[in-house]
Amino acid sequence: MSDRSSAKLNQPRPLTFDEVFQSVYPWLSQWVLRRARAVGVDADTATDVAHETCVRVMNHWPRLAMNPSAMANINAYFAQTARHILTDYLRRRRVRGVTLADIEAVDHHNSPLDNTIESELLAAYNELLNSATVTMRQAWLLGESMTASQIGQALGIPTTRVNRLRFEFRQSLKALLAQ
């Protein structure tokens, strides 16, 4: 037997994602919960971030499992991924913008001028919704109760496309409000 073939036999097999998940997830969920609470995010969202982290790592697992330096620092890899997801969540929450619920929540004891402006805003918002593509409209409206990943799965499009559609709609809405 050659040295090369004996070296292959002596190499440890790469860990499976399930093996790593079992050992990392308890730590990861607590780590994300501490970070999330520190920035004012509830426990349910922290759980969603931990789950999304595992999904993203799992999607990259075949390549990741073959990288010895990544495997040596697997907790750091999970933590960095979770940090990015939590940052994205906070950014989305901060710049979400005005929604139909926000417009409807306006005090209804306004002056006639305020009522006219409110009616015009609501009509313009509805017109903007109606002029958007079906996918853009769905991505925007589903964003009130679902994460970008969930929306992507529901619509059958990548998460990056969901984020782009929601960004474009938000820009259109901001332009409408600036008028």
* Local confidence pLDDT in tens for the 179 residues of the chain: 455 544 454 556 677 888 888 989 999 999 999 988 887 888 999 999 999 999 998 888 888 888 888 788 888 889 999 998 888 887 777 655 555 555 555 555 556 655 666 677 777 877 888 888 888 888 888 887 788 888 888 888 999 999 999 999 888 888 877 77
Would 8 be classed as within a structural domain? no
Neighbours of 86 (CB within 10 A): 21
89 and 123 in a single domain? The answer is no
119-165 per-position pLDDT tens digit: 777 778 778 888 888 888 888 888 877 888 888 888 889 999 999 99
69 and 85 in a single domain? The answer is yes
Q: What domain range is 37 assigned to? A: 13-95
Distance CA 40, CA 37 (A): 5
pLDDT the model gives residue 30 = 94
108 and 134 in a single domain? The answer is yes
158 and 132 in a single domain? The answer is yes
How far is the CA of 103 from the CAs of 36, 98, 99, 100, 173, in angstroms?
29, 7, 6, 5, 12
81 and 143 in a single domain? The answer is no
Distance CA 178, CA 44 (A): 35
CB 41 within 8 A of CB 86: yes
pLDDT the model gives residue 141 = 82
Would 1 be classed as within a structural domain? no
167 and 130 in a single domain? The answer is yes
Would 4 be classed as within a structural domain? no
Q: What is the DSSP letter of 96?
A: -
Which of 63, 95, 127 is the last residue before a domain boundary?
A: 95
CB 142 within 8 A of CB 112: no
pLDDT the model gives residue 53 = 92
81 and 106 in a single domain? The answer is no
pLDDT the model gives residue 6 = 47
Q: How many domains does the chain have?
A: 2
20 and 53 in a single domain? The answer is yes
Query: What pTM does this model have?
Result: 0.49
72 and 122 in a single domain? The answer is no
17 and 90 in a single domain? The answer is yes
Tell me, what amino acid is at 102?
A: D
Residue 6 corresponds to which tokens in the numbers above? 């004996």
Q: What is the DSSP letter of 105?
A: T
